Amino acid sequence: MKSDTSKPAGVVLTHGETGSSILYGALSAAVAEFPRDFDGFSLPARDTFKRTFGEAVVRFEACRVASANRVAIARRMVAVLDGHLHHAGAGTVPLREHLAQARSAPRLEVVARGASSGGYKVEIPWRREHFRGAAGLATLADRLLEGSLATERVHRALHWVSKRLDGDRLDLRGERFALLGAGAELAPTGLLLEAGADVLWIDRQAFAGSAVEKALAGRSSGTLHAPVAAEGGSDLLADPGAALAAVRSFREAGGPIHLGLLAYAPGKGRELRLAGAMDAMTRTLPSGVAKSVALYVSPTTPGEVQPEDRRAAAERRAKAPLWVKLLERTGGLKPNAHHEHGRHAISRTIVTVQGPTYQAAQYIAKMLAAEVLLADGIGGEPVTVSANVAGITATRSLQHPLFQAAFIGAPRFGVEIFEPETTRALSGLLMVHDALNPEAVGASSHAGHSEHASPIDVRAQLMASQSLHGGARSLPWHFDHTIRMGAVIGLGQKPKLIGGLLPKLGKKKKKKS
């Protein structure tokens, strides 16, 4: 008898629910439970939410960050998403129930052992320059801050890393990292291995033949482990329980680990299911497994704008060239980049073409989930959390003609588009800083009730202040409109992109009809 291949398997959402409906339901649940915190906020009608979700989420986030219940609201929303995650196999059960099932410890094997002993040689490409060693990293940090492409806390963190280098090299021998999505384009797997760390590879693709193996080119100083599997890879959506068991085995084999939640797969709600599954896996771990947990937040997630970025936005608008000012006067650009709510300002950086499902993944399953993890820890014990905003990057997942055109024109407005190798190095070094610096804003050493500990809502605010946004949050104009104008400029400079854009627009119209 043939199996019914039409039924979904692995991590699925509640039947009939979509990323959009889950995002709407989470917002509704929070407003219902904390009505005083959302006084004056109106959630749009359900039938108009897909068209208006961008502004709704921005205004909601402004109320949340201004509330004394900031983290409690995040916890409620994460619980809504958690309730819609299931695992479908022989039957369908809540994902948490699937992950709690006892699994035999998988056998781990060494798939690559480093032959080098030199450590990771810092050499970061940016704007046709290479920034080498401690001095180069410090210079790059200075330029990112001066260009309003990163916040002061990013500047401080990169300087901390530069002082930890031995000459031009980073040594991570003795550190252990388990990476979910180790083969992802922006995962710092190669950096960690070159620096001498022990790394657990969890990814759909095997290490052998991967881009990571090719990029390392024999420079690894560390040891790479992977669960023994018939296909050579680990599918987080198909069997998250197996991946969770592998993480636990890796810890038992050599001590506490740093856990990276880096897997990404666009389209069909996969990004939401993956992000939600990785968060659920993390919170299912027993205490003592993970010393730190790291993830990357998209710059198109609405976040709190830091004072230095607010000042930069005002200055950039005042000094804008005449042609940009004309665009603003004619409505091409809208000078409402930030939604102000009391002393807080939230970035209007949502790109509506990415859709509400993508935003649910980034906003709930990543940004808010990180705050909850910072507050609750794992198994009742504090854990260090790293949730930095990574810059807009020309990755393979953004090979859409509209984005490609926008990438050409966006720098004209002060928005930086990083190359993957630049983001991979910078975000990887920031992750290392957050994991190893006891004074990092998300460090577990700040937890507890001592006189030096910060209230959890303050800690969450501080963690959100470390942002390598590439100018997205220091922009004076509404980000979505700016990206569209950038695309117009890009299409003018590279008109052949129009040929790739027309079929996609045609498909979109067919779906609407």
Reported as a single tens digit per residue, the pLDDT across 302-314 is: 999 999 999 999 9
Q: List pLDDT tens digits, range 404-451.
A: 777 788 889 999 999 999 999 999 999 999 999 999 999 998 775 444
Pair 30, 133 in one domain: no
Place of tokens 């960690």: 192
Q: Residue 41 has which token pair? A: 């906020």
For residue 482, how many C-alpha atoms fall within 13 Å in the half-sphere facing its CB? 28
The last residue of a domain, from among 58, 87, 103: 103
Domain assignment present for 494:
no
Q: Which single residue is written with the structure tokens 């990004």?
A: 271
Q: What is the DSSP string of 186-236?
A: T--HHHHHHTT-EEEEE-SS-STTSHHHHHHTT---SEEEEE--TTSS--T
| Residue 58 falls inside a structural domain | yes
Residue 186 shares a structural domain with residue 89: no
pLDDT in tens, 188-246: 999 999 999 999 999 999 999 999 999 988 889 999 999 987 455 689 999 999 999 99
Asked whether residue 217 falls in the same domain as residue 125, the answer is yes
Partners of 110 in the β-ladder: 225
Rounded Cα distance between 55 and 58, Å, is 5
Q: Do 139 and 66 have their domain in common?
A: no
Q: Using DSSP bridges, classify how beta strands 120-121 and 169-170 pair: parallel, antiparallel or unpaired.
A: antiparallel
- Is the same domain home to 270 and 384? yes
Residue 332 counted as domain residue: no
Domain that includes residue 289, residue range: 108-302+357-401+422-447+463-475
CB atoms within 10 A of CB 320: 19
Whether pLDDT at 396 is above 90: no
Answer yes or no: is 509 within a domain. no
Percent of the chain clearing pLDDT 90 (strictly above) = 75
Cβ atoms of 468 and 150 closer than 8 Å: yes
Domain check: are 155 and 121 in the same one? yes
Sign of CA dihedral 396, 506, 302, 32: negative
CATH number at residue 226: 3.40.50.720
Q: Which residues contact 149 (CB under 8 A, 6 or more apart)?
A: 391, 416, 468, 469, 470, 471, 474
Number of domains in the chain: 2
The separation between CA 169 and the C-alpha centre of its own chain, rounded to angstroms, equals 26
Q: Which of residues 266 and 164 earns the better pLDDT score?
A: 164
Could you give the CA distance from residue 332 to residue 330 in angstroms, rounded to a whole number?
6
* pLDDT tens, residue by residue, 25-35: 999 999 999 99
Whether 428 maps to a domain, the answer reads yes
- In this prediction, residue 6 carries a pLDDT of 44
Please check whether residues 196 and 261 belong to one and the same domain. Answer: yes
User: Which comes out higher in pLDDT, residue 401 or 119?
Assistant: 119
In a domain, 113, yes or no: yes
HEC per residue, 369-423: HHHHHHHHCECCECCEEEEEECCCECCHHHCCHHHHHHHHHHHHHCCCCECHHHH
Of the three residues 103, 138, 160, the one that is the final residue of a domain is: 103
Query: Tens digits of per-residue pLDDT, 315-329?
Result: 999 999 999 999 999
CA distance 48 to 30: 19
- Write out pLDDT tens, residues 259-268: 999 999 888 8
Share the mean pLDDT of the chain: 90
Residues 112, 98, single domain; the answer is no
Q: Domain for residue 334, yes or no? A: no
Q: Are residues 129 and 184 in the same domain?
A: yes
